[in-house]
Structure 1
Amino acid sequence: MDPYTIFADIVAGRAPSSKVYEDDDVLAFMDIRPMTPGHLLVIPKVPARSLAELDPAIGGKLFQVAQRLAAALRESEVRCDGVNLFLADGVTAGQEVFHVH
């Protein structure tokens, strides 16, 4: 199954996930293959394959949620000293999963 379909299934509740945040527009969950402790994915619930397809208001909300989760990670038992926010948009930028995250 491709990752785009998996994201849709996670949003719909048809696939298991370790959710850490959810509202009407945004979902955040633990990555199943984390690069580092605390690796989260923050995604819009409405499908968007690229930034060009993403509603700017939802894009802003994604960043706000990411900021709150970064602060929570710093205060959690993970106690990270730094946080990366990464978004690859397009093949040339390194995007492999064609759903904004």
Structure 2
Amino acid sequence: MNGRELARYVERHLRVSRQLVLDLRAVDFFGSQGFTALYYISVHCTRSDVDWAIVASPPVRRLLSICDPESELPLADDLTAALARLDRRAQRHTPFVWSARSGWRTG
């Protein structure tokens, strides 16, 4: 899969979710197209109000250290840390609940 295919795949699947963990631990080569895809995914997640995290392999981390020196992308140390990050962010959002009896209300 190339960077463009990855970005489009993620974009299609974000229509049904408000959270994303992008697990790139099995990636053994990651070039500039991959970084472009991550940037595109980041912009799309921001515009769509999707919380997300990246779990990266050493080649991905190496490129991100060069292309994202300010650590703007949400890189997590491992899958457990990524899931914990998303759980913390989800707790900050006030849920909207709909009830047939009372209509919409905040959690």
TM-score by length of 2: 0.33
Report the structure number with the largest CA radius of gyration.
Answer: 2
TM-score by length of 1: 0.34
Higher fraction of strand: 2
